[in-house]
Amino acid sequence: MAVPKKRLSKTKKKFVKLFGKKKLINKLIKLYLLQNQCLKLY
């Protein structure tokens, strides 16, 4: 479904406000998962 850019930016801002505190934790988890995937590949 097509979503207008203005609406998307609004949702993004809301998301950032709601999950701003968890942002760093999520980044660390993503990096950890990526590292695990890389280790599995090699």
pLDDT tens-digit readout, 1-14: 565 667 778 877 87
Please state whether 2 falls in left (phi above 0), alpha (psi between -120 and 50) or beta: beta
CA distance 41 to 37: 6
pTM metric for this prediction: 0.39
Percent of the chain with pLDDT over 70: 69
Report, as an integer, the average pLDDT of 30-41: 79
Residue 26 near residue 19 (C-beta atoms within 8 A): yes
Q: Identify the pLDDT of residue 41.
A: 64
